[in-house]
Amino acid sequence: MDYENRNRIFICNPITRDWEQLQQPPDGESPDYSALSFSVNRVSLCYTVAVVKSKQKPGDFQQWDFDIQIYKSQNRLWVSSASEVLVGWRGGDESVICGGILYCLVYSFSGNNQRHGLIMYDLGSNSPADSPMRSIIMVPCPLTCGRLMNLRDKVVMVGGIGRYDRPDIIKGIGIWELCEEQWQEVARMPQKFFQGFGELDDVFASSGMEDLVFIQSYGSPLLLIFDMGDRQWRWSMRCPVSKRFALQLFTGFCFEPRLEIPL
């Protein structure tokens, strides 16, 4: 997604280096926040792209337009799946698709404290009455930020743990797995690794693939790895890219290097 123009979305294959730009969603409006996620059917190789858009109502900070738009590669069309006005909540930039369900982090403001919640939406639903806000799963503790990922068809969240007196100040990082709409803690980052980042901002990057979770500061190429299988933490090999100026930012994503031949 082009963050200068969030209606410009590209799909690419890092192995074959093929890419194309998807047609723009029909509404054409630029939201205040948008979350992008996609899934691939490994049998048909068709893919689904979901974009969750949030835009503040003019003159009312408490009301936000919340729209879910779906693109399916087999018919190359966008469909508006859900649209409603949220009161006291807004969408953000985190979502993931797992088992045909779209999961999205939403944010509530109560006084000076920001709370996170998770909503679920069945991508196979054809009923406009199915509200994504019908049920909300609160996060297990105050978070400075949350990152969602699909690891072996499980929803995993990596979050910056905020202080209870100052939820906007990060004091650690935790990993949770969603099990039957309940968060189960998997691990908390040991202090020696947390301190190894130096000055870690309250917002950081994280992604994952298979059993591995990768955590990274936007201001450094340092990359920490957590193995969900053996519950071990380790630093990755030194990144070949070095920081060249103070405000240089680093980000990345995970993909599985596979060659598929459609039958």
pLDDT tens readout for residues 156-177: 999 999 887 887 789 999 999 9
Q: What are phi and psi of 53, to 5 degrees?
A: -110, 140
- Mean pLDDT score of the chain: 86
Sheet with 113-122: strands ordered across: 89-98, 101-110, 113-122, 136-138
Query: How far, CA to CA in Å, does 86 sit from each of 36, 102, 136?
Result: 19, 17, 13
Q: DSSP class of residue 132? A: G
Structure tokens given for 199 = 């000055």
> Are residues 222 and 239 in contact, defined by beta-carbon separation less than 8 angstroms?
yes
- Rounded to an integer, the average pLDDT of 24-49 is 86
> Are residues 213 and 206 in contact, defined by beta-carbon separation less than 8 angstroms?
yes
Three-state SS for 7? Answer: coil
pLDDT at 80: 76
Query: What are 123-140's pLDDT values in tens digits?
Result: 887 655 566 667 789 999
Please state, in angstroms and rounded to a whole number, the distance separating the CA atoms of residues 23 and 83. Answer: 20
Runs of H (alpha helix) within the chain = 191-196
pLDDT above 60 (res 213)? yes
- Rounded to an integer, the average pLDDT of 129-152 is 84
Token pair 């908390």: residue: 188
Please state, in angstroms and rounded to a whole number, the distance separating the CA atoms of residues 37 and 20. Answer: 16
Structure tokens given for 176 = 């949770």
pLDDT at 127: 58
pLDDT at 262: 57
Query: What are 51-100's pLDDT values in tens digits?
Result: 999 999 888 888 899 999 999 998 888 887 788 888 889 999 999 999 99
pLDDT at 15: 82
Diameter of the chain measured on Cα atoms? 57
Evaluated on CA atoms 194, 197, 202, 205, the torsion sign reads: negative
Please state, in angstroms and rounded to a whole number, the distance separating the CA atoms of residues 82 and 89. Answer: 16
Please state, in angstroms and rounded to a whole number, the distance separating the CA atoms of residues 226 and 190. Answer: 11
Q: Which of 101-115, 141-155, 204-218 has the lowest mean pLDDT?
A: 101-115
